[in-house]
């Protein structure tokens, strides 16, 4: 038991870099980490830090890091390794989303099929740090053809592809297999959205506070 715990601790200490963000003292795996620090081969393109999203304006400041719970980052590493064997990789379109961004997104869309109402019972999985919006890239980091663009809130974005492009079908199939390999669940209405199955463990965090240098624990 102790050996198992130690093994996990060592694995996590290797995996998890010095966290730039934290929410007080939290159990192992619950802290927030930057995806690019955990696996630099995962590409990051946070659409809500640019005008290139459904609202046509940035919802986060430029340079906002892509953050998830450490346990979710571990899952993403498993997914990335799976994809690398197929000469592909992940690109992250969104990860942890602060409440202010969720509110703006809801105001812009007002469509509960695609965006979680901030006043809803469960809220957004992005506020818990357990959801990611992702797509596939090839070895050179180029986007692979997928059913739709990000934030295409139409039936074309359903998790079950109904188009007839075999390349798109095969890419979506690979993404879904890879994410399932990491233990993620998909969402019926958005092919790009995936969530960790143990999301209930993680409360919503309206805003993450940056911790100062001197508060960062040494590993």
Minimum CB separation of residue 180 from Zn ion in Å reads 17
47 binds Zn ion (CB under 5 A): no
Minimum CB separation of residue 94 from Zn ion in Å reads 6
Cβ contact 129:95 at 8 Å: yes
Catalytic residue among 31, 34, 74, 190: 190
List all residues 6 or more positions away from 140 whose beta carbon is below 8 Å from its beta carbon.
Answer: none
Minimum CB separation of residue 162 from Zn ion in Å reads 21
Residue with smaller CB distance to Zn ion, 22 or 191? 191
133 binds Zn ion (CB under 5 A): yes
193 binds Zn ion (CB under 5 A): yes
Q: Print the binding letters for residues 89-128 with Zn ion: x by CB under 5 A, - otherwise.
A: ----------------------------------------
Minimum CB separation of residue 107 from Zn ion in Å reads 17
139 is catalytic: no
- Find the binding residues for Zn ion in span 144-183 (CB under 5 A): none
Residue nearest to Zn ion (CB): 193
Q: How far apart are the first and last CA of the chain?
A: 23
Name residue 194's beta-bridge partners.
132, 186
The contacts found for 112-119 with CB under 8 angstroms, 24 or more apart, are 113/153, 113/189, 114/153, 114/189, 114/190, 115/153
Cβ contact 63:104 at 8 Å: no
Q: What residues line the site for Zn ion (CB under 5 A)?
A: 133, 193
Query: Which residues are designated catalytic?
Result: 190
């Amino acid at each position: 038991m102790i050996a198992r715990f130690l093994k996990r601790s060592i694995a996590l200490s290797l995996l998890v870099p010095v966290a730039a963000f934290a929410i007080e003292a939290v159990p192992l795996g619950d802290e927030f980490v930057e995806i690019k620090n955990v696996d630099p081969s995962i590409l990051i393109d946070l659409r809500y830090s640019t005008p290139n999203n459904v609202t046509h304006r940035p919802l986060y400041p430029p340079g906002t890091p892509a953050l998830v719970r450490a346990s979710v980052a571990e899952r993403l590493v498993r997914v990335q390794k799976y994809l690398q064997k197929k000469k592909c990789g992940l690109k992250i379109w969104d990860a942890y989303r602060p409440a202010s961004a969720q509110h703006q997104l809801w105001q812009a869309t007002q469509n509960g099929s695609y965006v979680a109402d901030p006043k809803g019972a469960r809220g957004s999985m992005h506020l818990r740090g357990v959801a990611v919006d992702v797509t596939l890239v090839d070895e050179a980091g180029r986007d692979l053809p997928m059913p739709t663009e990000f934030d295409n809130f139409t039936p074309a974005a359903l998790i079950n592809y109904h188009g007839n492009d075999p390349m798109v079908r095969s890419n979506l199939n690979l993404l879904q297999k890879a994410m399932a390999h990491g233990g993620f669940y998909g969402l019926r209405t958005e092919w790009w959205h995936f969530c960790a199955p143990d999301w209930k463990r993680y409360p919503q965090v309206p805003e993450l506070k940056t911790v100062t240098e001197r508060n960062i624990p040494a590993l």
